[in-house]
């Protein structure tokens, strides 16, 4: 796919999301089951943040505090997503080019870009893997 192709051509239109008032133990379960590293946080149809595996690890402090599995889950159950999410995520419009999306990922050292409409509604998600697939895996 060409670098000037639109993001909407490769974005994931079906993606797991969470609300800002959900608990981190739920997010941890969804990420593990779905094998995802990034989850948009959507309230009333609008993107309000992004929570990542890195956010979960930082919140749990499992290595520093030497939590066992049950202690970690108990702790995560006590924390709302809104307490750890990136509240002003870098986003991209569906009409942005793949080159523009790649530049944003590199500039901000992030692994995903929520795709949002003009009213802030979450339309999709583009990850670094999606961009690599579009650039190299299509035959």
pLDDT digits (tens, 9 = 90+) for 10-69: 999 999 999 999 998 899 899 989 888 999 999 999 999 999 988 887 776 655 566 677
pLDDT at 86: 83
Angle between helices 69-77 and 53-60 (to 10 degrees): 100
2-12: average pLDDT: 94
Fold topology of 7-137: CBS-domain (3.10.580)
Nearest to 81 by CA among 29, 13, 12, 121: 29
Q: What is the pTM for the complete model shown?
A: 0.84
Which residues 6+ apart lie within 8 Å of 31 measured at CB? Answer: 37, 39, 53, 56
- DSSP summary character for residue 93: -
121 vs 84, which has greater pLDDT?
A: 121
Tokens encoding 134: 């579009």
Question: Encoding tokens for residue 16?
Answer: 């797991």
């Amino acid at each position: 796919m060409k670098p000037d192709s639109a993001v909407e051509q490769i974005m994931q239109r079906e993606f797991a999301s969470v609300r800002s008032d959900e608990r981190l133990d739920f997010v941890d379960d969804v990420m593990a089951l779905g094998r995802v590293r990034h989850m948009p946080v959507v309230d009333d149809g609008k993107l309000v943040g992004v929570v990542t595996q890195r956010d979960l690890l930082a919140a749990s402090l499992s290595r520093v505090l030497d939590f066992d599995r049950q202690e970690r889950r108990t702790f995560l159950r006590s924390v709302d997503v809104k307490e750890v999410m990136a509240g002003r995520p870098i986003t991209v419009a569906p009409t942005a080019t793949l080159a523009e999306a790649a530049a944003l990922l590199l500039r901000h050292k992030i692994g995903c870009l929520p795709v949002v409409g003009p009213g802030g509604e979450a339309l999709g998600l583009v990850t670094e893997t999606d961009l690599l697939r579009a650039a190299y895996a299509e035959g």
